[in-house]
Chains A and B, each alone.
Chain A
Amino acid sequence: MAYYAQLVLNGVIAGSIYALFAVGLTLVYGVFRFINFAHGELIAWGAYLVLLFALPPISLPLYLALIPAIAGTVLIGVAQDRFVYRHLLQGHRITLLIASIGVSYFLRNTLRLIWGSDLMTYGIRPVRGIQFAGLSITPTQLLMAGTAVLFLVILFVLLTRTLLGKSLRAVADNMELAAVMGVPMQRVRVTVWVLAALFAGVGGFLLALDTNLEPAMGMTNMIKSFAAVLLGGAGNVWGALLGGLFIGMAENIGVAFFSPGYKDFISFALIFLLLILRPQGIFGVLTGMR
């Protein structure tokens, strides 16, 4: 019994990080109506930039390295829009999707060029988990869950209590009407990209803290976030959050039944099933951003 409870706990923690990724991906979809396949690269760049600032010659402590690293990730996110997507908005949505695949290749291979393809770590020694009611949780896992909750609460407050957040939801609901009403579109655009990159970068760092860094980490996690977004109904922020938690739990509970090597298979299978059975998402009825 404790074994399964432990798997659920691990699933919730992994899921909270997927939720951070998925929420950003779905925000971008909600406003710009395309799935940004380069979203995963923001995850990977977030993790690698921390490494850049933590290793010699800069050698900042990890928590300080995080600040310039996240700023850099946000810059990449805003630059994606500024230099690529903004110029394609008048075209077909499929053009944006394909452009984002191109951006994804570019960013991923730039990572390879700089850091190589080998696995890397932040070099933190593993710490024994804290025991609690037969369950074990490491300080890193606590940090992961705590940060995810903090960021999601901030997002909730932003979207429901501030004029900027409400404007963002209005643009996602009906962009043309928002423009007619004089909603500042430029500010909303930039906010969406900043949020998406911030959440991806922080999530990427936390994930790398718990596991390791590799150039393809963005791709793998992008697919999982995509599955979470589909579960929640594309564009639905709270749906994506639940979708992320669900994917994390499904993956970790799956370990009880098949080899951990098949972990990634679960999200692919979910995407496949959802696209056939319920393209509107299973949490589509929840009130959310859309």
Chain B
Amino acid sequence: MLLEVDQLTAGYGPVTVLHQICLELWDHEMVCIIGPNGAGKSTVLRAVSGQLMPRAGRVMLEGRDVTRQGLREKAAKGLIFIPQGENIFPNLTVLENLEMAGTMLQDKGILHQAVERVWAAFPMIQEKEHDPARSLSGGQRQILALSRILMLLPRVALLDEPSLGLAPLVVDFIFEEIAKMNQTGISFLLVEQNARKGLFVSHRGYVLELGRNRLTGTGQDLLNNPEVQRLYLGG
């Protein structure tokens, strides 16, 4: 197993958001977490990535316990986190954004190769190389944020709401790109408000409710599940 989350409990200050969450992610898998607002979906990613220290439970990466490790240590071991919403630096140029995304790549040559990979995959942002990132469209911003995955080529990418605020056609494009990266062997644990889309592209899914595991199954099973349909897919 690539990533195993076991009985994870986490929260902010006096509030406990996650109660003994369990989930697993296998090599080459794409797994989606869905659930209503306030279910703790984003908190799962924060606690797994090391941005938020869990209160109890374990996070295992390739069989090693990484629960207490921070963002940098986990990134070095091949687990990275792409947060939702404001996930670029608007006043840095597109190229500078990539340099920041690759800040953990110590060597200049490796950084250069990583940037070249991004240009090859996304020529539409290379055209804006020296423009401030705030001049990009919503879809281009998301592509810029996702470029970090291409640069660092991690084992696992945690992705929070990649479709947030994007037009339907752009959402399709973004998910195609995620699927392509998945086919190259990168596993994804993704949180989606757009449950139908998320489950459709994923191998498996987890349904969270009030910070607890509610249901799990393959993407197709969950899409066909009457309860999931009624609660999260709008009938």
Contact with A along B129-168 (1 / 0, CB 8 A): 0001000000000000000100000000000000000000
Interface window among A42-50, A103-111, A137-145, A179-187: A179-187
Of B81, B87, B89, B104, which is within 8 A of A170 by CB?
B89
Given contacts A180-B81, A182-B103, A183-B103, contact A288 B49 (CB under 8 A): no
What A residues does B103 contact at CB under 8 A? 163, 167, 181-183
What string of 1s and 0s marks CB contacts (under 8 Å) between A160-172 and chain B? 0001001101101
Count residues of B near A (Cβ-Cβ below 8 Å): 22
Closest residue of chain B to A30 (Cβ to Cβ) is B91
Does A177 have its Cβ within 8 Å of any Cβ on chain B?
A: yes
In the bound complex, how far is the Cα of B81 from the Cα of A150, in angstroms?
A: 40
> Which residues in B have their C-beta under 8 angstroms from that of A288?
91
Q: How far is the CA of A173 from the CA of B51 in the complex (A)?
A: 18
What is the chain B residue whose CB lies nearest that of A184? Answer: B103
A180 to B101, CA, bound (A): 9
Task: Assess the B92–A169 pair: CB atoms within 8 A.
Answer: yes
Q: Are B96 and A177 in contact (CB under 8 A)?
A: no
Chain A, residue nearest B51 (CB): A180
B71: Cβ under 8 A from any A Cβ: yes
A290 closest partner in B (C-beta): B91
A178 lies within 8 A of B83 (CB): no
Instruction: Answer whether residue B180 sits at the interface, using C-beta atoms and an 8 A cutoff.
Output: no
Query: Is A289 on the interface with B (CB-CB < 8 A)?
Result: yes
Whether, in the assembled complex, A174 has its beta carbon less than 8 Å from a beta carbon of chain B, the answer is yes
> Is B86 among interface residues, defined by CB-CB distance under 8 A?
yes
Q: Could you tell me the distance between the alpha carbons of A288 and B132 in the complex, rounded to whole angstroms? A: 10
Cβ-defined partner of A181 (8 Å) among B86, B91, B104, B132: B104
Which residues of A line the B interface, CB within 8 A? 163, 166-167, 169-170, 172-174, 176-183, 287-290
Which residues of B are in contact with A by a Cβ distance under 8 Å? Answer: 49, 51, 71-72, 75, 81, 83, 86-92, 96, 99-101, 103-104, 132, 148
